[in-house]
Structure 1
Amino acid sequence: MSFTWTPHRFAGGALALDVANSVVMRADPERRIDRYADATALDAFASAANAHCAERDLATALIPVIPDRRPAFIALREAIDGHFRAAASGEGTPERMATLLEAIAGTLRSAGHDPASLDTATAHSALRLSANTGPDRLKICPNCGWLFIDRSRNRSRAWCDMAVCGNRAKASRHYYRRKEESRA
């Protein structure tokens, strides 16, 4: 199956959330897909983030995570997802924050000071996100389950990407509404 990193896959609003969203259908073990299970997709993520990530500073292009640091990068991704998903659900705990900070510290220790490395940039993004984004701005898309930042003025954004998830939800409601009307 062919896969490409499209702008939709960077709908989180922060590099850390886009990395966490690399697991598709996370809540459904039967349909769960880890896009980083394929090393070529993980390598391609860095260049796609340069083009599509809302948070990226284009002055330094991201480079892929070196193979030796990939297990720590996956642990960072899981800590990011665990912490911010719990925070978005109103269930954040000091233990989840500690796990996130330990994963960030481990990544920064092993990755050194290379700001162009995807793992370093992701760790910095997670730090900025935890310090500067209130839990009322973090949301979980009701369609796909991805995390995203709601930057709307009145905090009313409902979907990670209106063009994809919003349209799917609206089309589904329309279908079922028409189906009910035809029965009546």
Structure 2
Amino acid sequence: MTFSWTPHRFSGGALALDVANSVVLRSDPARRIDRFAEPATMDAFPAGANRHGAERTLFGPLEPVDASARAGLVALREAVDRHFRAEVQGAGTPALLADLLEAIATVLRRSGDRPQALDTATARSALLLLTRPEPDRLKICPNCHWLFLDRSRNRSRAWCDMAVCGNRAKASRHYRRNREEPRP
């Protein structure tokens, strides 16, 4: 099956969140898809982020990680997801923060002279998220359960991507409403 990194895949609003969202259906072990499980798909992620990511100008043109750094990127991705998901749900703990900071430090220590490598840029993006002034802008999409930043003026954004998850939710609601109401 061919996979491409489309604009929807970068609806998190921050590189660290887009990387965390590379696991589809994270909470359903039977249907879970890890887009980074295939090295070629992981290697293609930076090109997609350079085209579609919200922070594409912040870190410069991103480059794939070295083969030796793949495990570190996956560990960072999981720490980002655990920490920020718990924060949104009001269950953040000092231990989750420590795990995230440890994963960030590990990546940054190994990065050497590759500041545009995906793992390094993801670590820097996670640090920026930790220092954000408005933590209530971080949300979880009720449809796909991805993390995203709500940058709307009135903080009313409900879905990670209106064109995908918003439409699916509205279509589902329409279907249920029409199915439940008897027609005259």
TM-score normalized with structure 2 length: 0.96
Contact 1:140 1:146 in 2 (8 A): yes
Deviation at 1:107, TM superposition (A): 0.2
- C-alpha distance in 1 between matches for 2:61 and 2:48: 10
RMSD across aligned C-alpha pairs, in angstroms? Answer: 1.4
Aligned-partner residue type, residue 50 of structure 1? N
Note closer, same or farther for the CA distance 1:90–1:103 as it changes in structure 2 (3 Å cut): same
Contact 2:59 2:116 in 1 (8 A): no
Aligned-partner residue type, residue 181 of structure 2? E
Note closer, same or farther for the CA distance 1:59–1:34 as it changes in structure 2 (3 Å cut): closer
Note closer, same or farther for the CA distance 1:143–1:46 as it changes in structure 2 (3 Å cut): same
Deviation at 1:58, TM superposition (A): 6.8
Deviation at 1:114, TM superposition (A): 2.0
Q: Is 2:50 the partner of 1:50?
A: yes
Larger mean Cα displacement after TM superposition, 65-74 or 133-142: 133-142
- Return 5+ residue gaps in structure 1 as ranges: none
Contact 1:50 1:58 in 2 (8 A): no
- Kindly report which structure 2 residues correspond to 1:20-59, keeping only aligned pairs within 5 A, or say none: 20-57=20-57
Contact 1:90 1:135 in 2 (8 A): no
Note closer, same or farther for the CA distance 1:174–1:49 as it changes in structure 2 (3 Å cut): same
Note closer, same or farther for the CA distance 1:59–1:71 as it changes in structure 2 (3 Å cut): closer
Deviation at 1:111, TM superposition (A): 1.2
Q: Is 2:141 the partner of 1:144?
A: no
Give the total of aligned pairs: 184
- Kindly report which structure 2 residues correspond to 1:125-140, keeping only aligned pairs within 5 A, or say none: 125-140=125-140
TM-score normalized with structure 1 length: 0.96
Deviation at 1:183, TM superposition (A): 6.8
Q: Is 2:11 the partner of 1:11?
A: yes
- C-alpha distance in 2 between matches for 1:82 and 1:58: 24
SS at match of 2:158: coil
- Return 5+ residue gaps in structure 2 as ranges: none
- C-alpha distance in 1 between matches for 2:118 and 2:128: 15
Deviation at 1:25, TM superposition (A): 0.1
- C-alpha distance in 2 between matches for 1:69 and 1:109: 11
Contact 1:80 1:100 in 2 (8 A): yes
Deviation at 1:76, TM superposition (A): 0.3
In the TM superposition, what whole-angstrom CA distance separates every residue of 1:10-57 from its partner, at most 9, and x where no partner exists?
A: 000000000000000000001000000010000000111000001121
Consecutive aligned runs of 4 or more in structure 1 exceeding 2 Å deviation? none
Contact 1:85 1:140 in 2 (8 A): yes
Identify the residue that residue 170 of structure 1 maps to in structure 2: 170
Contact 2:86 2:92 in 1 (8 A): yes
Task: Determine what percentage of the aligned residue pairs are the same residue.
Answer: 66
SS at match of 2:31: coil
- C-alpha distance in 2 between matches for 1:53 and 1:160: 13
Identify the residue that residue 95 of structure 1 maps to in structure 2: 95
